[in-house]
Amino acid sequence: MNNLFEKFETKIKPVLQKEFNLKSSMAVPKIKKVVVSMGIKEGAKDHSIIEKIKEQLKAITGQLPKVCKAKKSIAAFSLTKGSPIGLAVTLRGKRMYDFLEKLFNLVLPRVRDFHGVSLSGFDGRGNYNLGIPEIIVFPEIDFSKVDKMRGLQITIVTNTEDNNKAHRLLEELGMPFQKI
C-alpha cells in the first residue's frame, strides 16, 4: 500500500464492515475531516507573529490557514473584537489522509516521552482531539527559525457517533494508542 486511503478502502473497510456486522460498506465508519488549529494570544498585538505562524502551519498541512478572530472584546485579556487570535486549517480528501499518515508514522513517534495517544481524547460523539505540545516535531519546521515553542490542536472528525467504532477505525488506520 502506498497510501492510507488505499489501505482504508481495500483492507480496513472490509474488516470493519465484518466486525460491526454492517450490511452496506457505506455504513462503515470513516474520517470526514481533520482540523488543525493553533491559538496565538500574542497575535492580537503583533500581526507579524500571525504571518510567521501562518507559514509554519501552511508547511505542516500543505494548505493556507484561516485566521480566527475574537468574537467579542475582553478587557481582562486586553482583547478587542475582531483581533486575530488563532489559525485553523480544515483538511479533507487526499491532503487529510497524507497528513494522518505523516502524523501517525513520523510526528507522534518524535514527541518527547511518547508512549501512545490517550484514549481520553474521544469527545463522546466519535471524534478525537489531540494536542501536540511543540510544532518542532513536524519535519517541515526548521528549528532555527522557531522563536517560541508553540503547540497545536488536531481534531479528527468521523462519521460515527460511537467512540468505540471511531477507536477501532483509528486503530486500524495506525494511530498509536497507549497500551493499557
Of the given ranges (90-99, 110-119, 164-173), which has the lowest mean pLDDT? 110-119
Query: What residues are paired with 69 via a beta bridge?
Result: 84
Query: What residues are paired with 155 via a beta bridge?
Result: 35, 129
0.75 surpassed by pTM: yes
- DSSP-based three-state secondary structure for 102: helix
Q: Please, which pLDDT band fits residue 43 given cuts at 50, 70 and 90? A: low
Per the CB < 8 A criterion, the answer to whether 156 and 128 are in contact is yes
Round to whole Å and give the CA distance between 131 and 19: 30
Round to whole Å and give the CA distance between 40 and 179: 33
User: Would you kindly state where each structural domain of the chain is located, as residue ranges?
Assistant: 29-173
Whole-angstrom CA distances from 123 to 140, 177, 179 are 29, 16, 20
- Cα angle 114, 109, 125 (rounded to 5 degrees) comes to 75
Q: What is the CATH number of domain 29-173?
A: 3.30.1440.10
